[in-house]
Amino acid sequence: MQEYSPQNAYDFSETGKRVFDLIANLEIPVIAAINGFALGGGLELALACDIRVASEKARLGLPEVNLGLIPGFNGTQRLPRLVGAGNAMYLMMLGEGITAQEAYNLGVVQKLSEPDQVLEDTIKLAEKIAGKSPNALRLVKEMVRNGLEMCSKDAGKMESKEFGRLFKEDQKEREEGVNAFLEKRQPNW
């Protein structure tokens, strides 16, 4: 990056954002397993995921200010939406890494694991989520992502519309889920 022109830097940032947006916009749930350092672009990659599981020994941060830079792959946008503006500015302006426990307390990380268990715990979480209604999972992700970009009133209307649509267009999955619940069995998606 030492030789980058302003245009090179812009292009680099846009490319990184496009790649991470592809991950964020997948219709399926995406879970990051963090076991070690997730600093700068590494944390920005994790922020593009829906859920983050971290080893208790992990360190996370956006230290770009220490280089005279800012996060370039949407970290300045994703982190505040996740932890609030004040917490995000605190982390980005200090440019210091935080522990996995601190990241968990702030809501950056949703689950902590022992270092030798982080991948296994992440796979178990993924398997648990994979046992849920595929259409409902897709819609949860879509509603959350789109709703963050809307005012609360419009987001609520969008949710009601999609909730109602499930009773018409995705009737098979809904019926299977309700029947499985009433019959005290696992649904067969």
pLDDT (average), residues 114-142: 96
Rounded to whole angstroms, the Cα distance separating 156 from 162 reads 10
Where do the domains of the chain lie? 6-130, 134-182
| Bridge pairing between strands 59-61 and 98-99 | antiparallel
- Average pLDDT, whole number, for the chain? 95
Place of tokens 């601190």: 102
For the ranges 28-37, 47-56, 117-126, 165-174, which has the lowest average pLDDT? 165-174
Domain 6-130: CATH class, spelled out:
alpha beta
44: annotated active-site residue: yes
pLDDT number for residue 32: 98
Question: Order of strands across the sheet with 98-99?
Answer: 37-39, 59-61, 98-99
Residues 83/108, Cβ–Cβ less than 8 Å: yes
CA distance to 66, 109, 123, 142, 164, per residue, from 33 (Å): 26, 10, 9, 22, 35
Q: Pick the catalytic residue from 3, 14, 27, 44.
A: 44
Q: What are 55-104's pLDDT values in tens digits? A: 999 999 999 999 999 999 999 999 999 999 999 999 999 999 999 999 99
Q: What are 10-28's pLDDT values in tens digits? A: 999 999 999 999 999 999 9
- pLDDT > 90? residue 113: yes
64: annotated active-site residue: yes
Angle among Cα 25, 27, 32 to the nearest 5 degrees reads 70
- pLDDT > 70? residue 170: no
Residues 143/162, Cβ–Cβ less than 8 Å: yes
Q: Pick the catalytic residue from 64, 114, 127, 176.
A: 64
Rounded to whole angstroms, the Cα distance separating 100 from 111 reads 9
